[in-house]
């Protein structure tokens, strides 16, 4: 069988890659071990969060599916950091795990140009340095121009529960062993990572009256820009908060000798920012308690996820430590928590399109690249799918810069720095986070989505109308002035704003911390007719105008670095002034631009300046 693109794996990365490929007109095949597990939620029943919500909004603005599915399957919606500045807010939704999976699986099975096959991939067939086919466990050979590997935790996956070790890619599912060997045989640098999950508890055994209730937002905001806000009123279920205590910590500490994390049984490196409960107790002995979030997994709420208690401790210890927590004294475990080790490919093996440098036409996306999280995986899958299609069409690759999107930061970090631990997205990783807010992802990225054919005309038109309203509103504020007349002072007093003593623009007045939407509409009645989304953007842009301008100036200064490509035939060894360490890293990572080179650990500003000079000299030599 022949295809344009084969996607291996039906998780978050594989779904976005396959949908993008098929929707862009390619004959696509999604190869998965179990069709019923397409879109399965392996760990926590939630989408989004701080920085992760940014990724979902960006995926949505480019035409991806995760945001729409979250809105359809969501059972609680919250804006995290709502009281803080817009740059660090993050949307998060609890989801019905069953509905999410069913939505994605049915969508995949009903998408034109997309063929699904239930078979395990075992070998990537390469001819003359270019991918040619995928060989399956049933000895079928599937030919393709491009192959995207999105294997999650399945590459030689091993589950750990106490001393018990099981070969599995996810609880109850076979691992992918031969495919891992195939990738290694192709010369890709591989390593071993570890992640984990929490126990699930029978809802009937939980005493919620002893816990703090955590409801969703009163006026929930949908994830997708394509979901109508008007009438968006999903039925929301509460989550609950409880805490570990001294007894919990004593139980865990007394069983360190039985923890695979400490006995040497687990070799892979775990996520530093999402440690297991035993790791938390070990590293933070001075803390009296740790938060436990008790989260429903479905609308029926028959099982609850004990977020904050990821563990690989033995079953009897899991039961004892969970029952030491307030409200969980009679808890019955339905599914035990476990750690899972798996192979990954060092992401410095990839270029910014997520294509491997060694094998043309072979793309990797998701946890295989060393990331952790559904959102990071989906973002990579979407970008890999798009770029595989563009390569077949012989069009320019689609690469987002660090100043354009969190997705750009994510991929740039991976391919230029690599990772030796599961990589997680944080707002602090983005240098220009005031420009890269959740709320303006559509304004930033939807033009790309439209150009790629992943955003429909109606959605694009709505975005353009919103953008026009924002520009008109900001012009009104910039060109309107207030003077300290009697009428002005009375107006300011009526809206509880301090007086002015000199002439100021309305934009400067609105930039005050105390200014809100209601005051904006009173100060500039012409703006009140605009959509709420446009007014929110006008208010944010006015409030942070000075800081936004500074970030834009920084970006302009970076333009030369961003755009100046490093010639492929540049002889790195002949460049005097570069240390041997810098030369080795430049040859190993082969950055495409000066900016990419500047992101490599150990490549100093002085080295960048030397490279800059040599590239300019080479360009002048060619012109002569």
pLDDT of residue 302: 98
Residue 44 burial by Cβ neighbours in a 10 Å radius (0-12, 13-18, 19+): buried
Q: Is the pLDDT of residue 589 over 70?
A: yes
pLDDT of residue 622: 65
- Which 3 state secondary structure label does DSSP give 161? strand
Handedness of CA 546, 81, 298, 272 (dihedral sign): positive
Structure confidence by residue, pLDDT tens digits, 175-202? 999 999 999 999 999 999 999 999 999 9
Which pLDDT band holds residue 423 (cuts at 50, 70, 90)? very high
Q: Is the pLDDT of residue 466 over 90?
A: yes
Q: Is the pLDDT of residue 623 over 80?
A: no
pLDDT (average), residues 54-64: 98
Question: What is the residue-averaged pLDDT of the chain?
Answer: 94
Which pLDDT band holds residue 621 (cuts at 50, 70, 90)? low
Higher pLDDT pick, 149 / 270: 149
Q: How large a percentage of the chain has pLDDT more than 70?
A: 98
- Which 3 state secondary structure label does DSSP give 615? helix
If you write DSSP's letter for every residue of 428-471 in order, what string do you get? Answer: GG-TTTTTS-GGGHHHHHHHHHHHHT-S-HHHHHHHHHHHHHHH
If you write DSSP's letter for every residue of 27-66 in order, what string do you get? Answer: -EEEEES-GGGTT---S-SEEE-TTHHHHHHHHHHTT-SH
Q: How many CB atoms lie within 10 A of CB 132?
A: 15
Q: How large a percentage of the chain has pLDDT more than 90?
A: 80
Q: How many CB atoms lie within 10 A of CB 136?
A: 19
- Shortest CA distance to 537 belongs to which of 517, 519, 557, 551? 517
pLDDT of residue 620: 72
Structure confidence by residue, pLDDT tens digits, 592-620? 888 888 878 778 777 888 888 888 887 77
The model carries a pTM of 0.91
If you write DSSP's letter for every residue of 511-545 in order, what string do you get? Answer: TSTT--HHHHHHH-GGGGGS-HHHHHHHHHHHHTH
Q: Is the pLDDT of residue 562 over 70?
A: no
Q: Are 356 and 404 in contact (CB under 8 A)?
A: no
pLDDT of residue 131: 98
Q: How far apart are CA 492 and CA 506, in angstroms?
A: 12
pLDDT (average), residues 559-577: 81
Which range is least confidently modeled, 135-144, 283-292, 576-585? 576-585
Angstrom distances, CA of residue 188 to CA of 107, 364, 506: 33, 11, 58
Which pLDDT band holds residue 12 (cuts at 50, 70, 90)? very high
pLDDT of residue 97: 97
The full set of domains in the chain, from first to last, is: 2-198+341-452 (3.50.50.60), 200-339 (2.40.30.260), 467-548 (1.10.10.1800), 564-623 (1.10.150.570)
Structure confidence by residue, pLDDT tens digits, 196-250? 999 999 999 999 999 999 999 999 999 999 998 888 999 999 999 999 999 999 9
């Amino acid at each position: 069988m022949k295809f344009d693109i084969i996607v291996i794996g039906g998780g978050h990365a594989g779904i976005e890659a396959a949908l993008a490929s098929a929707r862009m007109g390619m004959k696509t095949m999604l190869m998965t071990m179990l069709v019923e597990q397409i879109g399965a939620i392996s760990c926590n029943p939630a989408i989004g969060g701080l920085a992760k919500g940014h990724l979902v909004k960006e995926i949505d603005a480019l035409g991806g599916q995760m945001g729409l599915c979250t809105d359809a399957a969501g059972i609680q919606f919250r804006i995290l950091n709502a009281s803080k500045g817009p740059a660090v807010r993050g949307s998060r939704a609890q989801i019905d795990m069953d509905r999410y999976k069913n939505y994605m699986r049915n969508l995949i099975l009903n998408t034109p140009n997309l063929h699904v096959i239930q078979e395990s991939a075992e070998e990537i067939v390469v001819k003359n340095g270019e991918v040619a086919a995928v060989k399956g466990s049933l000895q079928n050979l599937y030919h393709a121009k491009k192959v995207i590997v999105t294997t999650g935790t399945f590459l030689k996956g091993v589950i750990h529960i106490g001393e018990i070790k099981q070969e599995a890619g996810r609880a109850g599912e076979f691992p992918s062993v031969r495919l891992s060997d195939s990738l290694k045989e192709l010369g890709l640098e591989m390593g071993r990572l570890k992640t984990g999950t929490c126990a699930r508890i029978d809802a009937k055994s939980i005493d919620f009256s002893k816990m703090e209730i955590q409801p969703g937002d009163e006026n929930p905001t949908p994830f997708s820009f394509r979901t109508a806000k008007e009438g968006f009123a999903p039925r929301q279920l509460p989550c609950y908060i409880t805490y570990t205590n001294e007894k919990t910590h004593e139980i865990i500490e007394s069983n360190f000798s039985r923890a695979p994390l400490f006995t040497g049984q687990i070799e892979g490196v775990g996520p530093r920012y999402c440690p297991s409960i035993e790791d938390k107790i070990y590293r933070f002995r001075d803390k009296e308690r740790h938060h436990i979030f008790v989260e429903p997994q479905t609308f029926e709420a028959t099982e609850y996820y004990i977020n904050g208690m990821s563990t690989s401790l033995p079953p009897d210890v899991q039961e004892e430590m969970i029952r030491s927590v307030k409200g969980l004294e009679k808890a019955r475990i339905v599914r035990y928590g476990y750690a899972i080790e798996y192979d990954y490919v060092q992401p410095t093996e990839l270029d910014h399109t997520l294509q491997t440098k060694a094998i043309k036409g072979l793309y990797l996306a998701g946890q295989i690249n060393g990331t952790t999280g559904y959102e990071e995986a989906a973002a990579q899958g979407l970008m890999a799918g798009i770029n595989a299609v563009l390569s077949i069409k012989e069009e320019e690759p689609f690469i987002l810069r660090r100043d354009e999107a969190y997705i750009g930061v994510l991929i740039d970090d991976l391919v230029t720095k690599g990772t030796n631990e599961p990589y997680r997205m944080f707002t602090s990783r983005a240098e220009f986070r005031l420009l890269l807010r959740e709320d303006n992802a559509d304004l930033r990225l939807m033009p790309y989505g439209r150009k790629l054919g992943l955003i429909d005309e109606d959605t694009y038109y709505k975005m353009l109308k919103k953008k026009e309203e924002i520009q008109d509103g900001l012009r009104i504020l910039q060109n309107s002035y207030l003077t300290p007349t009697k009428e002005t002072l009375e107006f300011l007093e009526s809206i509880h704003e301090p007086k002015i003593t000199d002439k100021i623009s309305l934009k400067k007045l609105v930039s005050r911390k105390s200014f809100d939407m209601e005051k904006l509409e009173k100060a500039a009645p012409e703006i009140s007719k605009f959509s709420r989304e446009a007014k929110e953007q006008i208010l944010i842009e006015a409030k942070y105008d000075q800081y936004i301008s500074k970030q834009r100036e920084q970006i302009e200064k970076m333009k030369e670095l961003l755009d100046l490509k490093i010639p492929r035939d540049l002889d790195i060894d002949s460049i005097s002034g570069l240390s041997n360490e810098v030369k080795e890293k430049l040859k190993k990572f082969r950055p495409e631009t000066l900016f990419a080179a500047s992101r490599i650990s150990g490549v100093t500003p002085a080295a960048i300046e030397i490279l800059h000079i040599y590239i300019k000299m080479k360009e002048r030599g060619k012109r002569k």
